[in-house]
Structure 1
Amino acid sequence: MKGKVLFILLLSASCLYGQERSNMRTADSLKRFNALNQLDEVIVTGQFEAQSARNSVYSIRTIGSEQIRLRGATSLMQILNTEPGVRFSNDLALGTSDISLMGISGKGVKILLDGVPMLDRGEIRESLGQIDVHTIDRIEIVEGPMSVSYGTDALGGVINIITKKSPASEVFSLSAKVQEESAGDEYSGFGNKGSHNQHVSAAYNRNRWSFTGTFSQNDFGGWKGQAADRELEWNPKKQLLGGGSVGYRHDGLNIWYRLNATDETISLLGRANPNNNLATDKDYISRRFFHQAQLDWKLGSALSFNGAASYTDYSRRTKTTSLNVLNGDRRLSLEPDAQAKSLFDHTFFRVTMQYRLSDKVSLQPGAEVNLNGSSGDRIQGSPEINDYALFVSSELKLWKGINIRPGIRMLRNSVYDAPPVIPSLNTHIMLGKKLDMRLSYARGFRAPSLRELYFEFFDASHSITGNADLKAEYSHSYNGSLTWHNESKGNTALGVTLSSFYNVFSNLIEIGINADKPDASSYINIGRSKTTGGSVQGNARWRSLRGMLGFSYIGRYNRISEDEEFGGPLPQFTWSPEVNSNIIYTLPNAGASINLSYKFNGRLPAYYISEQDGERTLVGGRTSSYNLADLSIHKEIRKMTTLSFGVKNLLNVTRVSNTAIDSGSAHNSTGPSPVSYGRSFFLGLTFQWSKDLSNNK
């Protein structure tokens, strides 16, 4: 069936292309071209109200809708992997990926969907892989703590995923997309090789009411790589992603409800035992239902209210079966812990008020409640963690060109002694018409998760127990940036940003050996850690060409530098460079765009101490550098139809050498680190149709 879909896609594309004149110019292509040429985007993350990025006290990077569309991505990781300061690590044994931002692991990065926190089982940000990319309008990335506004986990920064909303005009629209992609050199339209992606959506907006519905299916057949027998190096993954929303808008009131549902199965195929021809297979089955409701109510030019509520029901089940590879007989395994299920739920409320006392002073008080619960075969009991917070911040524009934003957050936690007050101070200084400076200090915190407190997990690759005595993590963060921008009246613009950061962490939670349970790894507070670094990012636009080039140099704390025996000659930080670039060339008259994305991830050095027979030895390791590049081309072949094709992982990087032991990992071992499943080719067809309803009253 999939092969037929691909054949029809190719045939339709070629026929439609022949019918269309090459100089066709559509309103959509011009709209997209203009969107690409907006260097100063409107942002909402951490703001009192939506405003220009230049006027914000925060330094915020935005990945716009056109950048997302041009990447041809089927997952958020494919969008973020060439962003500055962003790296991903892959655990192929569990089929999960985790993110790090500016040297801070994913547990210190807050993931938001329309400003509402996503639920994750623990320190791994699995939620990033369970969001439908077709529903994303843009992504806003804030580097540095935002604990005053968003609470726990926002130690290193915030990634806010803004979804598409119904247009303000009265319209009915339909959209559909089919994309076929190889996995390295593996592809089969009729079989289970490669990646097969389908998406449909509809939106209706009339008489102040709006309705949307979306459905996507992602079917990844895995990748053989260097695995032997039945095993695969990258495991198959099947996803069903659905959602819908209803909204009402009138005068200053905007209220809406949205449901996002995910059904995901990751399959691990075991090696057949030659003695009995039995193979043990595992399926990791995840189901997520994410309900959220939001309200924006503007009562005049000086007063507005915002409210948000959400409930997440998330489960992950391990299904283990035994397969006779000769006759195909499959049975449930009766081994201990072979069938396990964990349940997690999260209830969230937040309300804020924005009040403008004068042109120089604005105030935002707010309250927030987080209720977390879990249960399951690998969870001790049915624990709960409840968090209650009050926060207030203000914007002070007491002098021309200077905006100061102080803020504090007061909280109470049901399990641990929460910090009584979390402060922050952000400043934005306009040094001229073209030059801006931002300086900030913030205290951050991260509460131990239910998984870190009460989890127990044992298999061939992992031996982990929770630690109910964990304390919260804390941080002090200092950030500064200088931005110069020059935009002419024509189609030419240039901008450069220099930035630096310094973070100090205490009570950092990582995997280690608990003295009370030396036979297994556990979560422990290891004491201090630090990250520091700087970057320069340049953006340019000239006619139909837009480009971005950046360089980052990130330092990660070397704990061995404190060791009395070996620390003397060692550096306090181990440094790693990064280079990233993105080039977009648009031909609006032809309805075509070309996108090239590139990222160099420099070598990650590390030091650790090996102990054997009472002898301590200093060992140096590293994760090797590598390059990532994606190329895509998009062509409007009819007014409502777009053809996209390209190459992902152009340089064919699959794995990199790794001789460093990650003390924070669940399985501390060296060996090649997986990056991707090789150079892949994709071909997609997108259909969009809309009808204006404003004249049908």
Structure 2
Amino acid sequence: MAQEGSGIFAPKADNPRRADTTLTLNEVVITGQSEPQSLRNSVYQVRTIDSERIRLRGATNLQTILNTELGIRFSNDLTLGTSDIQLMGMSGQGVKILLDGIPMVDRGSTRESLAQIDINTIEKIEIVEGPMSVMYGTDALAGVINIITKKGQSGSSQSGSSLTVNARVQEETAGDEYDALTKKGTHNQGVGVVWQNERLQMSGNVTRNNFGGWQGASTGRAKDWMPKEQMLYTAGTRLSGKQWNIWYRFNGTDEKIQYLGNRNPVSGIAADKDYMTKRWFHQVQSEIRLNDKLNITAVGSYTDYSRRTLSTNEDSLGRRTLSLDPGSQDKSVFTTAFFRGTAFFKASDHFSLLAGVDFSNNNASGARILGAPAINEYALFVAPEIRFGKFFKLTPGLRFLGNSVYDAPPVIPSLNGKLTLTKSLDFRFGYARGFRSPALRELYFDFHDASHSINGNVNLKAEYSNSFNSFLVWQAVSRDGLHMNSTLGGFYNVFHDLIDTGIDPNDRTQTTYLNIHLFKTTGFSLDNKFFWKNLQATVGATYIGRYNEFSEAPEAFGALPEFVWSTEINANLLYNFKKAGASINLFYKYSGKRPVYETTDQVNVHLAETEGFHMADLTLSKTLGKQLNLLGGIKNLFDVTSLQNSSTDTGGAHSTGGAVPMSFGRSYFLGLSFQFTKN
């Protein structure tokens, strides 16, 4: 695996803003690769979202960027202000989130980390569908989402020094709520500076996101969507030579989510909660090319992540005191130290070898955590790449595991291949064995409040899976000014002992983590891309099936369908008016109804459905001179707020009963960005 982000030896891609190259198979990808290479040469199916598409979304968080991608869905927890991501039928801990190839730390199955990455620092996003457990270890059963940050130009290719200053300000409504002075709506400001010469680069970014919440159907002080204040800090430095590179980056998050309670009609007291998160994320990465055949990389990181609950009571005169209720004042801390070292040896044009070692140390502490647990994971992985002429490439892989808490399988295998059928037709296929040991929070973390009740379960078993996928990629047309390609894919995954929440069999009043005996996902996808002069268009669809088996005796539940299915359709249209320096962009996705068989008592099973919905964003972009760009538009054109849901799970942890919140409705935004460069 090439180390994501350094890349001073990587082949240079064309200007990402050119309409005829943005999403073609010539784009350089790095996630999961032995070395940076074009999308067409990769044995993995990788989707990319480049910096220009990110800019045109007018996004202030990653969910806005990803919510119209095929196979990706989000669910929101309004009580905690967090979201969970689903990829190709799998959710929670099965999706690995990486920042420059380094795993992000989250407290639970919901992914706070996705909302705590500074959008203004992202160069592109790479999405790999299918299990990547051999390359990336635990939590990569469903796939990998790798967020790759901006690194500037490599020092070895630049003479003299340069200074670049970027700034951005954006105002957005929350539904029909907006006021610049009272903080209603969304307010985003960011500034970044990069200085570099031939060998040294120094950079820094500061971004402020302020969301005033959304009243919705709530009355009084309460809000359907809670206010959030967020500061994001980034600082880094890089030193490079002709054959080596080393850089350090700090990413900091300081976030507060406010829950405002309504006043008691008798006492006049309102119970409020502040959820405060601090994330200090340090990265060190180095790369050295010893010769034309051998390349060595090393990555280290340390994450200090804490979430604190501050509960207070405000009386009718505005006086505030600390709540004395049990568990009302709480702080949980999760720390992770991570190291990865790799060596890539290219023996010839027909054979190369990637080998590496991984180590992670995970610790947790807090009043709701049993003891002070720690889990250490060790791994050795090898992935040779064998080329048979120019038409066939095969990459077998093995990962040898060690875990301080679980008896991990001695080895996890994978096999990926790419067959060039014609000059315009490629076939990719893959098999992988997945493994995930229970996380610290699933084993030891107890969480109880008015809307949640989860007890950790120290008796959990580890998950494992067998996954198969294949993709047929057709480059239908490829000539100057016109590109067309289509990708037809299919996947089938079988998960054993999948970890999910359910009623504690020893205490029917409590919810805990349990192992589901068997879980399956399967599906098909069709993705089409079209580029003609100033027009870019993508149209795609997926058909995904999910199957749950609730026990080792499925006949006890009667005849159930093997799979229940849901459909997704998306379309993205981008048109550039080059002479005017303007563009118009439409992002659309239909997510069909989501059926699932569920049980709350391990005896009775019924079919529940969440209704389908349409999401769409329309944006307009206009350059103003050489340094300014104006961006405005409408998000959530169909004014989706919540979805009808027939689930009967109306209690316990992360209840799925009742309406499912999706958004705060149609919103309008206007932003201005500035870039100045001096050589």
TM-score by length of 2: 0.95
Give matches, 1:9-408, under 5 Å.
Answer: 31-33=17-19, 36=22, 38-168=24-154, 169=158, 170-324=161-315, 326-408=316-398
Indicate conservation of the 8 Å contact 1:98/1:125, yes or no: yes
1:627 is matched with which residue?
614
More displaced 10-residue stretch of structure 1: 247-256 or 483-492 = 483-492
CA distance in 1, matches of 2:20, 2:249: 30
Indicate conservation of the 8 Å contact 2:467/2:492, yes or no: yes
Return the letter of the residue paired with 1:651: F
Q: Give, in angstroms, the shift of residue 518 of structure 1.
A: 3.4
More displaced 10-residue stretch of structure 1: 169-178 or 434-443 = 169-178
The superposition leaves residues 107-142 of structure 1 with CA deviations (integer Å, 9 ceiling, x where unpaired) of: 100000001111111222111111011110000000
Return the letter of the residue paired with 1:206: N
1:467 is matched with which residue?
457
Indicate conservation of the 8 Å contact 1:456/1:465, yes or no: yes
1:436 is matched with which residue?
426
Indicate conservation of the 8 Å contact 2:502/2:600, yes or no: no
Indicate conservation of the 8 Å contact 1:558/1:574, yes or no: no
Return the letter of the residue paired with 1:275: V
Give the SS at the match of 2:530. strand
Q: Give, in angstroms, the shift of residue 445 of structure 1.
A: 1.1
Give the SS at the match of 1:49. coil
Q: 1:663 to 1:336 in 2, by over 3 A?
A: closer
Give the SS at the match of 2:500. strand
CA distance in 2, matches of 1:306, 1:356: 15
CA distance in 2, matches of 1:524, 1:667: 14
1:451 is matched with which residue?
441
CA distance in 1, matches of 2:372, 2:246: 34
Give matches, 1:626-645, under 5 Å.
Answer: 626-645=613-632
CA distance in 2, matches of 1:509, 1:669: 17
Percent identical across equivalent pairs?
52
The superposition leaves residues 453-495 of structure 1 with CA deviations (integer Å, 9 ceiling, x where unpaired) of: 0011111111211111112110100000000013433210100
**Structure 1 residue ranges, 4+ long, deviating more than 4 angstroms after superposition:** 28-35, 609-612, 661-665
Indicate conservation of the 8 Å contact 1:354/1:365, yes or no: yes
CA distance in 1, matches of 2:498, 2:337: 26
More displaced 10-residue stretch of structure 1: 120-129 or 137-146 = 120-129
Give the SS at the match of 1:451. helix
Q: 1:376 to 1:617 in 2, by over 3 A?
A: closer
CA distance in 2, matches of 1:45, 1:679: 35
CA distance in 2, matches of 1:580, 1:30: 22
2:4 is matched with which residue?
none
Residue 476 in structure 1 maps to residue 466 in structure 2: yes
Q: 1:639 to 1:87 in 2, by over 3 A?
A: same
Indicate conservation of the 8 Å contact 2:71/2:568, yes or no: yes
**Aligned mate of 2:540, from 544, 550, 561:** 550
Q: Give, in angstroms, the shift of residue 502 of structure 1.
A: 0.2
CA distance in 2, matches of 1:367, 1:609: 42
CA distance in 1, matches of 2:240, 2:150: 16
Give matches, 1:497-646, under 5 Å.
Answer: 497-559=487-549, 563-568=554-559, 570-609=560-599, 618-646=605-633
2:417 is matched with which residue?
427
1:687 is matched with which residue?
674
Give the SS at the match of 1:507. strand
Return the letter of the residue paired with 1:248: L
Q: 1:399 to 1:488 in 2, by over 3 A?
A: closer
Q: Give, in angstroms, the shift of residue 349 of structure 1.
A: 0.4
**Aligned mate of 1:659, from 646, 662, 665:** 646
Indicate conservation of the 8 Å contact 1:30/1:588, yes or no: no
Q: 1:646 to 1:108 in 2, by over 3 A?
A: same
Give the SS at the match of 2:152. coil
Q: 1:669 to 1:35 in 2, by over 3 A?
A: closer
Q: Give, in angstroms, the shift of residue 192 of structure 1.
A: 1.9
Q: Give, in angstroms, the shift of residue 566 of structure 1.
A: 4.2
More displaced 10-residue stretch of structure 1: 480-489 or 444-453 = 480-489
Q: Aligned-pair RMSD on alpha carbons?
A: 1.8
Give the SS at the match of 2:432. strand
More displaced 10-residue stretch of structure 1: 640-649 or 169-178 = 169-178
CA distance in 1, matches of 2:648, 2:105: 29
CA distance in 2, matches of 1:29, 1:588: 15
Return the letter of the residue paired with 2:94: G
Q: 1:205 to 1:661 in 2, by over 3 A?
A: farther
CA distance in 1, matches of 2:227, 2:394: 50
CA distance in 2, matches of 1:665, 1:597: 36
Return the letter of the residue paired with 1:199: G
More displaced 10-residue stretch of structure 1: 538-547 or 479-488 = 479-488
Q: Give, in angstroms, the shift of residue 400 of structure 1.
A: 3.3
Give the SS at the match of 1:651. coil
CA distance in 1, matches of 2:516, 2:144: 24
Give the SS at the match of 1:58. coil
Q: Give, in angstroms, the shift of residue 592 of structure 1.
A: 1.1
Q: Give, in angstroms, the shift of residue 358 of structure 1.
A: 1.4
Return the letter of the residue paired with 1:649: N
Q: 1:301 to 1:664 in 2, by over 3 A?
A: farther
Indicate conservation of the 8 Å contact 1:29/1:591, yes or no: no
Give the SS at the match of 1:550. strand
Give the SS at the match of 1:571. coil
CA distance in 1, matches of 2:580, 2:566: 42
CA distance in 2, matches of 1:29, 1:485: 21
Return the letter of the residue paired with 1:676: S
TM-score by length of 1: 0.92
Q: Give, in angstroms, the shift of residue 637 of structure 1.
A: 1.1
Q: Give, in angstroms, the shift of residue 166 of structure 1.
A: 2.1
Q: 1:33 to 1:481 in 2, by over 3 A?
A: closer
Return the letter of the residue paired with 2:126: E
Q: 1:40 to 1:567 in 2, by over 3 A?
A: farther
Return the letter of the residue paired with 1:621: A
Indicate conservation of the 8 Å contact 2:16/2:50, yes or no: no
Return the letter of the residue paired with 1:136: I
Which consecutive residues of structure 2, in runs of 5 or more, have no partner in the other structure? 1-13
CA distance in 2, matches of 1:184, 1:680: 5
Q: 1:307 to 1:373 in 2, by over 3 A?
A: same
CA distance in 2, matches of 1:456, 1:208: 50
CA distance in 2, matches of 1:546, 1:241: 33
CA distance in 1, matches of 2:436, 2:23: 38
CA distance in 1, matches of 2:395, 2:527: 25
Q: 1:30 to 1:63 in 2, by over 3 A?
A: closer
Which consecutive residues of structure 1, in runs of 5 or more, have no partner in the other structure? 1-27, 693-697
CA distance in 2, matches of 1:253, 1:374: 36
Give the SS at the match of 2:225. coil
Return the letter of the residue paired with 1:152: T
Q: Give, in angstroms, the shift of residue 590 of structure 1.
A: 1.6
Indicate conservation of the 8 Å contact 2:518/2:550, yes or no: no
Return the letter of the residue paired with 2:231: L
Give the SS at the match of 1:690. strand
